[in-house]
Chain A
Amino acid sequence: MSNLLEVNDVSKKYGQYTALNHVSLKVPEGSIFGLLGPNGAGKTTLIRIVNQITYPDTGTVTFDGKPLQPGHVALIGYLPEERGLYKSMKVGEQALYLAQLKGLSRKEAKERLHYWFDRLGIGDWWNKKIQELSKGMAQKIQFVVTVLHNPRLLIFDEPFSGFDPINANIIKDEILHLRDKGATVIFSTHRMESVEELCDDIALINKSQKILDGKLVDIKRQYRSNTFEVGLETENKEALRSELETRFTVSGAVFKSLADELKLRIQLQNGHSPNDLLQYLVSKSTVSHFVEVIPSVNDIFIQTVKDSDSNG
């Protein structure tokens, strides 16, 4: 799969402050790419560089294999984190204006807007002013404006903030739908559960440096710790736990179950396979629960940021 967007060794300084320090990224075409990082890490600067709102001091950005050029803005849809609309302008007029700025003709913009407004059930807002709408309603319009010109690359910065769960879900489905139709999506957020749910690839930026990137599955594999959550039904829980502690690294675990059982987290040492563990456990007790602990993006995020902070 080719990369729609490549960021090569990009650095950016604001006076003395380094916003980006030799950052490189590859965003595969047709993927949903999660751009993660704590506040102030440099995500927004990177996104602004891709949108040609600001320019890198060194390094290059290529879009579809070509260096970024002004014409590319028409191929990108950007929903910034700090977003809003003209308060005293009517919804339809405003959406038309923004669509025309992206290069659509007035007629085409109108047709597409009606399609999207009907699709999201907001057709009757056309003549309302923004100040009459709620925050969530305005966000829906911003979403429509972002995707209206069928951009090849969509960049969403905290797209779900301000949405109630129902509307957040509608927007999530629309994003997936757009991806299925061929769009590439860059997704910057602090909401790890949506990263978990949506992203194929992620990159983690901390203190202006990229500290981790790759396919989400690969990263998770890389961060697996051979730890299993087990539920064991036995007469004597204390005895079994002590016995296990001599062979494995054991800690308590919390999960929901129906039986009154010994709940543990067991980390395998090198040389042991899950089967070995399972066989051993079966011989000692009735196994009611046996699951590999997959590191969550949240865990990976916190751990990597901590590691890089202590190293730096």
Chain B
Amino acid sequence: MDKLPLIIKREYLAKVRNRSFIVMTVLSPLLVVGMAALVFFLTKANNEERKVIAVLDEGNFFREQFKDDASIAFVPFRDISLETAKDSAQHAAYYGLLYIPEGRDIENAAENIEFFCKESPGLGTLSSMEGVIRSRVRDVKLRNFGVPDEVLGEMGRNYEINVENFTGEKKLRGINEMKAVIGGAFGYLIMMFIIIYGAFVMRSVIEEKTSRIIEVIISSVKPFQLMLGKIIGTSLAGITQFVIWIISAGLLLFVLAAFLGISMGELGGSRIPPDAADAMNNMSGGMQEKMQLYIAELLNISWGVLLFSFVVYFILGYLIYSSIYAAIGAAVDNETDTQQFMFPVILPLMLAIYVGFFSVFNNPHGPIAVAFSLFPLTSPIVMLMRLPGGIGTGGVPVWQFVTSIVLLVVTFLAIVWLAAKIYRVGILMYGKKPGYKELYKWLKYS
């Protein structure tokens, strides 16, 4: 095993010095941050262009009800015919004309409202206008029944259900989803790492095969050592890249945020209607209290356990998948032949992510979540999504955690053993395009 460090070093340097690797390392954060900035600016530019809508309210039922907001400005038309209104709206290049005909009463008028528009209007625009109409009609009708104004004002209130567990501890709504998102981020990280760097391992094996250096090397070291060195070296390079990405993306975001700080404040301010801002100020006492609860709850997550499990699941999961990738690389002669083997590898990863997002978020301890967090090919991702809830009471039962780890270790040993066998035979097979049957035969070679 004394040659393992040599192999790891070579694999690491070969990867890190590779030109495309360097370009990717430098460019990716710039690209990501650049994209974010671009989206930000585009959204801003888009919102700054307000739609102007003319309102012809013949019966005057909706006086002053259509209020301008960040995206729509309303222009009242008075005492003109519909035809004239249409013409002038079109000439003034307005977004559209809202026509409220004169009716018996407001209800009758509301039923016959029409919207004239050059192109088909955005759903958001329509529904915001419909909302205004709905609440106006309701208010008018209620007032007709003699409901006093202060009661009307109170009708818009929302009621929130407070959640407690049976021992009386306060529970926060949405905290499970929040925790699952944190776990999901870890799980997603593992999946991305496996997909990107597993493929690196595979390519590096194929390169040794096509350049025909492989036989020279395995006359000096055991194939298993070479495979292991390759996997470790490549993952170290991957971790290096990830760390550079995280640091540089963080720095860039920081710089960008400082640079855009003022305009962000502006944007945030202009989006909130004045009365809503007032409401927020009134609520702020309660909100702050809630925020503190959320933060306390998040700090309450056993981060030690979570990080420790992340490392364990990451290492085992990555080793399992990358040794499968190494075996695939050994079995084929070039990358185009890898297709038939790739799908079964990607499948459990995709499944884990989707099951995680759709099932674990809703019910972290339901049967599907439990099954997938035990199954070794999906457990590194799914279990991490469940773990922020803690281990033991209220979280993942201890037996599930232990079983999942044990299954993962056993699978890890079995898969690495099988992959090493395929690898050992495959690297010396040239000019073959083996199927699964052939691989099965290789397993039986001594």
Contact = CB atoms under 8 A, between A and B. Distances in A.
Nearest to A74: B220
A42 to B, nearest CB: 14
Nearest to B18: A88
Contacts of B212: 80, 82-84
Interface in A55-114: 55, 57, 70, 73, 76, 78-80, 82-89, 97-98, 100-102
Given A83-B212, A84-B211, A84-B213, A51 B219 contact: yes
Interface string A29-55: 000000000000000000010011101
B213 A85 contact: yes
Interface in B307-322: none
| Residue in B216, B218, B219 whose Cβ sees the most chain A Cβ within 10 Å | B219
Given A53-B219, A145-B216, A101 B6 contact: yes
Contact of A89 (B14, B222, B444, B445): B14
Given A55-B446, A101-B3, A86 B213 contact: yes
Contact of A98 (B211, B217, B446): B217
A78 B216 contact: yes
A106 to B, nearest CB: 10
Contact of A85 (B10, B211, B445): B211
Contacts of B18: 88
A82 B215 contact: yes
B441 interface: yes
Contacts of A51: 219
Given A82-B215, A83-B212, A53 B428 contact: yes
B221 interface: yes
A268 to B, nearest CB: 49
Contact of B446 (A57, A86, A89, A102): A57
B225 to A, nearest CB: 10
B208 to A, nearest CB: 8
A142 B219 contact: no
A15 interface: yes
Contacts, number: 66
Interface residues of A, number: 29
Nearest to A149: B220
Interface string B203-237: 00001100111011111111100000000000000
A291 to B, nearest CB: 44
Interface in B1-42: 3, 6-7, 10, 14, 18
A15 B439 CA distance: 12
Interface in B397-446: 428, 430, 441, 444-446
A97 B446 contact: no
Given A84-B212, A88-B18, A73 B219 contact: yes
A187 B274 CA distance: 91
A14 interface: yes
A15 B14 contact: no
A97 B10 contact: yes
B211 A78 contact: no
Given A15-B445, A101-B3, A101-B221, A88 B216 contact: no
A80 B446 contact: no
Interface of A is mostly: loop
A22 to B, nearest CB: 17
Contact of B216 (A15, A70, A89, A98): A98
Interface string A292-307: 0000000000000000
A82 B213 CA distance: 8
Contacts of B223: 53
Contacts of A80: 212, 215-216, 219
B48 to A, nearest CB: 50
B369 to A, nearest CB: 43
A73 to B, nearest CB: 6
| Residue in B7, B213, B217, B441 whose Cβ sees the most chain A Cβ within 10 Å | B213
Contacts of A79: 216
Nearest to B226: A101
A86 B441 contact: no
Contacts of B222: 70
Nearest to B215: A80
B171 to A, nearest CB: 57
Interface in B221-269: 221-223
Contacts of A84: 211-213, 216
A79 B220 CA distance: 12
Contacts of B445: 14-15
A83 B215 contact: yes
A14 B425 CA distance: 10
A33 to B, nearest CB: 18
A76 B6 contact: no
Given A15-B441, A73-B220, A101-B220, A83 B446 contact: no
Nearest to A130: B211
B14 A86 contact: yes
A52 B219 CA distance: 7
Interface in A133-165: 142, 145
A78 B214 CA distance: 12
B211 A87 contact: yes
A52 B221 CA distance: 10
A97 B218 CA distance: 13
Contacts of A86: 14, 207-208, 211, 213
Contacts of A100: 3, 6
A142 B445 CA distance: 30
| Residue in B3, B217, B221, B446 whose Cβ sees the most chain A Cβ within 10 Å | B446
Contacts of B220: 73, 98, 101-102
B15 to A, nearest CB: 11
Contact of B217 (A82, A101, A142): A101
Contacts of B3: 100-101
Interface of A: 14-15, 48, 51-53, 55, 57, 70, 73, 76, 78-80, 82-89, 97-98, 100-102, 142, 145
Given A76-B219, A101-B6, 4 more contacts: A73-B220, A83-B215, A88-B18, A97-B6
5 contacts: A15-B445, A70-B222, A88-B14, A97-B6, A98-B216
Interface of B: 3, 6-7, 10, 14, 18, 207-208, 211-213, 215-223, 428, 430, 441, 444-446
Q: Which 3 A-B pairs have the closest CB atoms?
A: A84-B212, A101-B220, A80-B215
